[in-house]
Amino acid sequence: MSEPRPQQPRPTESTPPETFAQPWEARSDVRITDVRAIVTAPEGIPLVVIKIETSDDGLHGLGCATFTQRWQAVVAYLEHVRRLLIGRYPGDIEDLLRLVRFSAYWREGPVGNNVLSGVDMALWDIAGKRAGAPVYELFGGRVRAAADVYLHAGGSTVEETADEARELMASGLRHVRIQTGQPGIGHYGAPPTADRYTWAKTPTGWRAEEYLRRTPALFARMRETLGEEVELLHDVHSRLTPKTAVLLARSLEEYRPFFLEDVLAPEFWDRLPAVRDASPVPIAVGELATSASDAARLIRTHAVDFIRCHLSDIGGVTAGRRLAVLADLEGVRTAWHSPGDASPVAVAAAVALDVTSPAFGIQEGHVYNEATHEIFPGMIDIVDGWLTPSDAPGWGVEIDERAAARFPAGFSGHDAWAAGVRAPDGALVAP
Ligand code: MG
C-alpha cells in the first residue's frame, strides 16, 4: 500500500486587507467585486479569458490570458491576484497593473504576464463600457479604417500550398503566409511530405539543409503561379542559426517576401541586429517574447523590421501600446501574433492597436469555428482580408459561459506540436 498523498496546500489569508485598499479617493464609487478565469476549448485549443465584475449592475470586462500549453498555471496564478483587485476602482488601470506586477516581486514570464494581460484587457473593456465608447477611441482614435490581415497557406507539397494560397486570395486576402512540408515531417504550419530519410535515426527528422533548399523553390513556384500582386510571408519558427538565417534571407530576395518571421530562437536574439543588417528582406521577430522590455530591446537595437508579440505573453494591450509608440519612433512596424491560440477578445484588442497606431504593418488572423462564434458573441471576423473593429463600447465581445462550459479544456495538443520535431539524428529541434 502506498502512502496517502498530501493535500495540495491552499493559501490562507494573512496580509492585512488594507495593504491593497483603494489608495486615493476615486472619482466614482464603482468597485471591482470579483475576478475569475473562464477556460474553454471550442477548437481543442484551451483559451483562457479573465472576467472582472464590478459593483455596477452588469458592468464587467473581459481580457485574454491564453497560455494554451500551461493554462492551469495561469488559472492558479490568478488566485494570488484577485485579492489585490477586489474593492479597487477599475478606472485606475495603470496602478492596478503595477500592483499585479510588483506584488509578485519576480515579475515577467508567460504565466504572470498572461494573468496581467487578462486583467489589463478586462479593465480597458470596463473603461470603454463606462465611457460608452469602443476602446480604440480611448486609445486616441483611429488612424486607419481597418487592419489588413494575413492567413496561413500550408501543404505537404508546393502545389498544395499554392492551392490553399489561391483559395485565400479568392476570399479577398492580399497577404498570405506560405509553408510547405519536409520529408516525413510537417515543417511549421504544413503537413509532412510522403517521403522519409531512409538513412536517418529519425526518418521523419527536420533538416536545415533540406529546408534551405526547399524554401526558395517554394517561393519561386508561388511567384510563378500566384503572380506579383500577392504579398508572401514565411515563418522559419526559430529553427536556424544566425548564418543560415542570412543564407535563407539572401536566397529569397528575388521573390520579394513581405517578411521572414522568427529566423532565430529567443536565446540568440542578441545576434539579430547583425542578421537583420545582412538580410535583404524584412525580418519579423517577437512572438516568443515574454516581457515588454525584451520586445522593446528588439526595436531599440534595430533587430527587427516588424515587431510581433503574442500580446498576452507580454502583459496585454497596455504593453502593446507602449511597443507601438516605440516602433513608430524607430521606424519599425507591428505585426501582432494572433492565430488560433489567441481568443477573440485578444483579436479585438490587437485590432484596437492596429487601427490606432501609425506603426501598424500587418495583422495575423485566424478563421474561428462556429462554436467559437457561439461562445463569443460580438467577435469580429475577417471580411475581404480586413479586420474592422467593433463600434460597441469596450471590446464589443462578450462570453456565453454556458456555451463555453460545453467545451472543457484538456491538456493542450500544442505541447506535442512544440516538442514534436526532431533532427535526423534524433535530437529535439527547438520551436
Ligand atoms: Mg510564428
Query: What is the separation, in whole angstroms, between the first and last Cα of the chain?
Result: 42
> Among this protein's residues, is 211 annotated catalytic?
no
- Choose among 241, 234, 277: nearest CA to 257: 234
Mean pLDDT for the stretch of residues 81-97: 97
- Give the pLDDT of residue 391: 98
Three-state DSSP at 134 gives strand
Q: Is 188 a catalytic residue?
A: yes
Q: What is the pLDDT of residues 253-290, one digit of tens each?
A: 999 999 999 999 999 999 999 999 999 999 999 999 99
- Reported in sequence order, the residue ranges of 159-208 that DSSP labels E, i.e. its strands, are 175-180
Q: What is the pLDDT of residue 4?
A: 65
Per the residue annotation, which of 60, 152, 234, 237 is the catalytic one?
237
Question: If you measure from the C-alpha of residue 63 to the centroid of ligand 1, how many angstroms do you get, rounded to a whole number?
Answer: 22
Distance (Å) from CA 69 to ligand 1 centroid: 15
Q: What is the DSSP letter of 10?
A: -
Nearest 10 degrees: Cα torsion 67, 70, 75, 78? -70
Query: Which residues crowd ion ligand 1, with CB under 5 Å?
Result: 235, 287
Instruction: Please give the distance, rounded to the nearest whole angstrom, from the Cα atom of residue 151 to the centre of ligand 1.
Output: 12
At residue 414, the pLDDT reads: 75
In the beta sheet, which residues pair with residue 61? 52
- pLDDT higher than 90, residue 375: yes
3-state secondary structure string across 302-360: CCCCEECCCHHHCCCHHHHHHHHHHHHHHCCEECCCCCCCCCHHHHHHHHHHHHHCCCE
pLDDT of residue 13: 72
CB atoms within 10 A of CB 357: 25
> What is the Cα–Cα distance from 64 to 195, expressed in whole angstroms?
40
| Rounded mean pLDDT, 73-92 | 96
Q: Are strands 231-235 and 259-261 parallel, antiparallel or unpaired?
A: parallel
The single residue of 77, 89, 150, 188 carrying the catalytic annotation is: 188
Domains of the chain by range and CATH?
138-393 (3.20.20.120)
Separation of CA 68 and ligand 1 centre (Å): 15
Confidence of residue 188 (pLDDT cuts 50, 70, 90): confident
Cα 292 to Cα 50: distance, rounded to the nearest angstrom = 20
Count of Cβ atoms closer than 10 Å to residue 192 Cβ: 16
Cα(59)–Cα(349) distance, integer angstroms: 19
pLDDT digits 0-9 by tens, 31-53: 999 999 999 999 999 999 999 99
What lies within 8 Å, CB to CB, of 49 at 6+ separation is 37, 38, 39, 40, 62, 63, 64, 65, 66, 118, 343, 345, 399, 404
10 vs 42, higher pLDDT:
42
Task: Give 358's contacts (C-beta < 8 A, 6+ positions apart).
Answer: 143, 328
Q: How far apart are CA 294 and CA 313, in angstroms?
A: 11
Read off the pLDDT of residues 206-253 as tens digits, 9 standing for 90 and up.
Answer: 889 999 999 999 999 999 999 999 999 999 999 999 999 999 999 999
pLDDT of 287 reads 96
Cell of 351: 485590432
Q: Residue 197 contacts by C-beta under 8 Å, 6 or more apart in sequence?
A: 183, 184, 203, 204, 205, 207, 424
Q: pLDDT tens digit string along 12-33?
A: 777 667 888 999 999 999 999 9
Supply the pLDDT for residue 8. Answer: 67
Nearest-angstrom CA–CA distance, 26 and 92: 8
What percent of the chain has a predicted confidence (pLDDT) above 70?
97
pLDDT, the chain, mean: 94
Residue 57: predicted pLDDT: 93
What average pLDDT does this structure show over 409-423?
A: 80
Phi, psi (deg, nearest 5) at residue 122: -65, -35
Tell me the CA–centroid distance for residue 262 and ligand 1, in Å.
6
- In terms of Cβ atoms closer than 10 Å to its own Cβ (0-12, 13-18, 19+), residue 302 is middle
pLDDT of residue 198: 87
When pLDDT is averaged across residues 94-111 and rounded to a whole number, the result is 96
Bridge partner residues of 234 (DSSP): 260
Q: How far is the CA of 288 from the centre of ligand 1 (A)?
A: 9
pLDDT recorded at residue 301: 97
Distance from Cα 197 to the centre of ligand 1, integer Å: 26
Task: Give the model's confidence band at 2: pLDDT under 50 very low, under 70 low, under 90 confident, else very high.
Answer: low
Distance from residue 22's CA to the centre of ligand 1 (Å): 41
